[in-house]
Structure 1
């Protein structure tokens, strides 16, 4: 782990795609500012976040889950400047961690999620679904590390990342990392990056939909996977609306 008294560099794996000039503007003091969240045995915790503004932002959450506890985090990251949500979660026996996130935007901003999921006890599960939509020279990053302790048998952990680039200058990066010491586990990750389905857009246009509406519907369907496990209708709508509002500045 980088020294919190000095600024990180791109030599630090968790910061390899970060906007280091923006990190310097945030300042070294922010690197030691973690929100600590304890979810006791059998309890449930949920938080839904819309993050990002016209200034750089760093949000860091550290969760500790007791036996049989459940934590859900859902986030829309639509900053116009460097915006980073960093999550570290340690799972007790039979606990579950669910994360769904969307990075979306244009300009030249970097938007990223960085997660460290520590399966410390047997029988815990985790699932992370991230969707990234960018245009201009915007960048969306997901760096997800899963650590499985030697005695954490029956771990079941999954990560799924998909990036959608609306313009040639945009980029998306996914860095899955697995550190597994147990032998009876299921750990899976997948990452793909592509462009809008032009045949689907043409189909919609042929039936009278405007290019703007066609793009909106296709992007909405693409990012919907990130929030499929969120059963709070009002929060689901808030996160989705924040993402689609950011889309209004996208080029066609």
Structure 2
């Protein structure tokens, strides 16, 4: 009789885990331990295109973990709005085959004291694969918006072209945002770029719009709409794009 396989118990993350360093650990204790080992698996066949758009707006702590395997010459796109009323975390672990592409556009937006975060890890282990990630964050009250993005380029990942861009606007003094872009590169023919910027709303733009008779609340909405629209610029479905934008702006209107 063969021995039963030994399984390791699932443990909750701690503050020592870099990928969880900005998480809300009070909320994390509400998840069952097995939740940290639950992943949705998506396989995108060679030459195919996969797209998913979703919204997180739950009032309870939420953890969504997705693994995406993108085959040769395939394309995967994920666009999301994280407007949850409590801690909400989206994790994407993406493996790219030769000539594959991954596109991610995400917005975290809201007030209260919630922490909303996107965490991505991309494996560029094959040649000629590309990826692009654009994340925008708008928060007020005591809320926090996070983006932790890691790109691993293996020795065979020659001619990788990968980019990630994070920008945050904080509408009130108590709000915060955190960005942690990471690159680990073992190939020598690559193009990788990342950028992060956190600040307040452009007061000069608001003044300019006010000088032309645009009411302050309308000016604010227009500026934020333009700001978050960057995250969905690569989404070529106009109805889906407008739907995501409207949900984000509805959250802003509840401020």
TM-score using structure 2 length:
0.95
Task: Return the offset for 1:210.
Answer: 2.0
Aligned to 1:55: 60
Gaps of 5+ in 1: none
* Alpha-carbon separation, structure 2, partners of 1:86 and 1:52: 16
SS in 1 for 2:22: coil
The Cα offsets for residues 138-195 of structure 1, whole Å up to 9 and x where unpaired, read as 1000000000111110001000000100011111110001111111101110000111
Task: Determine the structure 2 residue equivalent to 1:223.
Answer: 228
Partner of 2:4: none
Q: Distance in 1 between matches of 2:221 and 2:30?
A: 34
Indicate if the aligned counterparts of 1:4 and 1:32 stay in contact, CA closer than 8 A.
Answer: no
Query: What's the secondary structure of 2:138's corresponding residue?
Result: strand
Distance 2:208 2:58 in 1: 35
Q: How does 1:30-179 map to 2 (within 5 A)?
A: 30-179=35-184
CA distance in 2, matches of 1:173, 1:125: 25
Preserved CA contact (<8 Å) 1:106 1:249: no
CA RMSD of aligned residues (A): 1.0
Q: What secondary structure sits across from 2:29 in the alignment? A: helix
Match 1:191 to one of 193, 196, 199:
196
CA distance in structure 2 between the aligned counterparts of 1:71 and 1:26, rounded to whole angstroms: 29
Once residues 26 and 113 of structure 1 are traced to their aligned partners in structure 2, the CA distance between those partners, rounded to angstroms, is 18
Cα distance in 1 for partners of 2:93, 2:192 equals: 18
| Superposition deviation, residue 4 in structure 1 | 6.8
Q: What is the CA-CA distance between 1:51 and the residue it aligns to? A: 0.9
Check if 1:205 corresponds to 2:210.
yes
- Which shifted more, 210-219 or 96-105? 210-219
The offset of 1:197, in angstroms, is 1.0
TM normalised by structure 1 equals: 0.96
Q: Which residue of 2 aligns with 1:22?
A: 27
1:202, CA displacement in angstroms?
A: 1.9
Name the SS for the 1:26 alignment partner.
coil
Residue 227 of structure 1 and its aligned partner are, at CA, apart by 0.2
Query: Where does the alignment leave 5 or more consecutive residues of structure 2 unmatched?
Result: 1-7
Q: Indicate conservation of the 8 Å contact 1:4/1:31, yes or no.
A: no
Structure 1 match to 2:18: 13
